[in-house]
Amino acid sequence: MRYGRSPTHAVRAPGRVNLIGEHIDYHGLPVMPFAIDRAVTVLLAPSLAGSGAGRVRIANSASDLVGDDFRLFEPIVPLGGGDWRNYPRAAAKALAEHESSEMICTRGVDALVASDLPTGAGLSSSSALVVGVGLALAHVNGLETDRMAFAARMARAERFVGTEGGGMDQAACMLSRDRHVSLLSFEPLSVEYLRFPEELSVLVADSGDVAEKSGSVRVAYNERRASGASALVAVAAAVGYAGASFAELLTAFDARELLEAAAGVLAGNFGDDVGEGRGLRRFRHVVTEARRVANAREALVNGDAERLGALLTASHASLRDDYEVSTPSLDELVEVALHAGALGARLTGAGFGGAAIALVNAADEEAVRAALEVVAGADAVMSARPSGGATVRAL
Ligand code: NG1
């Protein structure tokens, strides 16, 4: 490994594709990701007993990335924006601090991190790193890792990097099941597994525009969350449900009623928003995306691939026009995939760069792949098979 140690265990923490349900996890609404067969691997050995027992040393197999060295007993502070070491630190900080002493990690690790996940591609390499290091620390401390509770803890942990993320990525990493997509609900976190049809494939095409969330994209991401939240406050008050969550409003009213109410209170300039109707468009994305997730569940259960594809494409249009998180390269990938015969296509993950996915009948996979490769390059296209969640293995 490094540090003159042999690893005792290997943690494998996969990345994910989000099939549908984008930018709504942090509004407490269900989303539908699956883990892919690419992952962050953490080779680890417990730190040596004695005065260095709480020391965490982490090297990265990427040669241009400098390693980290800190102690669990000392304040764990973030480094500059965009620094990869903030993710292991996020996990360590959350595990070194807890009101219950049984939930605290005191033993450090020597670890080597490697990854075959592209970074900044919307495939959740950051959460895979957080969960991977978190599991390494939990393991050497003999901490009970109820998967659900651990996913929620790692979701809170990752906010250390400054992004007010939802819980989708960490939950996908911890809870995914081979050949299934996970319909995740939040507050509290729960999962329903839906079998992914054998005859369908998902292609992922990386636009090459890096969306580094601990860097510049953080501000844009947090703005989306904040403007969605303020739109919610205004609409909830307008329909006589002041203080209600999106989930509560969507239970009490149908989407059309909510959008009518929203048109009344959000049509013009709204809060700090400058553009005409921006608040309304943000709100409309959240409400319509929630409905698309529910419809996608139905389409999967009924084996209606055409409908599922159409929902993905509609999701992309909403993310492009109403939530404004797409880019010209992502729009182009979506158009190319659809033109080549995909059932549906959309950006996946936060957007602002990163990857697009295409849902295809297995019979059309090669044609769509070839078309995407022309635009993105052969190395930038891969197929994503719904795979199992994170594992810890003795070596
Ligand atoms: P990615 O694609 O990893 O940047 C982010 C958030 C998710 C979710 C999506 C948008 C984190 C760790 N991840 O994902 O929670 O909000 O954007 O749907 O913040």
For 12-34, write each residue's pLDDT tens digit. 999 999 999 999 999 999 999 99
Residue 102 has what pLDDT?
80
Residue 99 has what pLDDT?
77
Residue 278 has what pLDDT?
85
pLDDT band, residue 3 (cuts 50/70/90): confident
pLDDT digits (tens, 9 = 90+) for 164-180: 889 999 999 999 999 99
Strand order in the sheet with 68-71: 68-71, 55-60, 109-115, 32-46, 9-20, 391-394
- Name every protein residue with a CB atom under 6 angstroms from any ligand 1 atom: 22-23, 25-26, 122, 124, 126-127, 158, 163, 165-166, 168-169, 213, 349-350
Q: What average pLDDT does range 287-297 have in this prediction? A: 98
Residue 165 has what pLDDT?
85
Residue 116 has what pLDDT?
94
Residue 228 exposed, middle or buried by CB count within 10 Å (0-12, 13-18, 19+): buried
Residue 384 exposed, middle or buried by CB count within 10 Å (0-12, 13-18, 19+): buried
Answer yes or no: is pLDDT of 276 > 80. Answer: no
Answer yes or no: is pLDDT of 300 > 90. Answer: yes
Q: What average pLDDT does range 30-48 have in this prediction? A: 97
Distance 64 CA to ligand 1 centre (A): 25
Q: Which atom of ligand 1 is nearest to the CA of 170?
A: 12
Do 4 and 26 contact (CB within 8 A), yes or no?
A: no
Residue with more model confidence, 236 or 50: 236
Average pLDDT of the residues of the chain: 93
Residue 213 has what pLDDT?
63
Task: Look at the block and give the residue holding tokens 């691939």.
Answer: 305
Residue 277 has what pLDDT?
81
Residue with more model confidence, 377 or 120: 377
Q: Residue 286 and residue 308: Cα distance in Å, rounded?
A: 18
Tell me the pTM: 0.95
Q: What average pLDDT does range 321-346 have in this prediction? A: 97
Residue 122 has what pLDDT?
81
Any catalytic annotation for residue 272? no
Residue 101: CB atoms within 10 Å: 7
Answer yes or no: is pLDDT of 1 > 90. Answer: no
Answer yes or no: is pLDDT of 270 > 90. Answer: no
Distance 124 CA to ligand 1 centre (A): 7
pLDDT digits (tens, 9 = 90+) for 204-242: 999 998 876 656 788 888 899 999 999 999 999 999 999
Do 167 and 186 contact (CB within 8 A), yes or no?
A: yes
pLDDT digits (tens, 9 = 90+) for 143-159: 988 999 999 999 999 99
SS3 sequence, the chain? CCCCCCCCEEEEEEEEEEEECCCCHHHCCCEEEEEEEEEEEEEEEECCCCCCCCEEEEEECCCCCCCEEEECCCCCCCCCCCCCCHHHHHHHHHHHCCCCHHHCCCCCEEEEEEECCCCCCCCCHHHHHHHHHHHHHHHHCCCCCCHHHHHHHHHHHHHHHCCCCCCHHHHHHHHCCCCEEEEEECCCCEEEEEECCCCEEEEEEECCCCCCCCCCHHHHHHHHHHHHHHHHHHHHHHCCCCCCCHHHHHHHCCHHHHHHHHHHHHCCCCCCCCCCCHHHHHHHHHHHHHHHHHHHHHHHHHCCHHHHHHHHHHHHHHHHHCCCCCCHHHHHHHHHHHHCCCCEEEECCCCCCCEEEEEEEHHHHHHHHHHHHHHHCHHHEEEECCECCCEEEEC
Cis peptide before 7 (omega within 30 of 0): no
Identify the active-site residue in 68, 169, 206, 322: 169
Q: Which atom of ligand 1 is nearest to the CA of 165?
A: 19
Take atom 13 of ligand 1 and give the residue whose Cα is closest.
165
Residue with more model confidence, 220 or 137: 137
Q: What percent of the chain has pLDDT over 70?
A: 96
Residue 215 has what pLDDT?
62
Q: Residue 17 and residue 326: Cα distance in Å, rounded?
A: 16
Q: Which atom of ligand 1 is nearest to the CA of 213?
A: 4
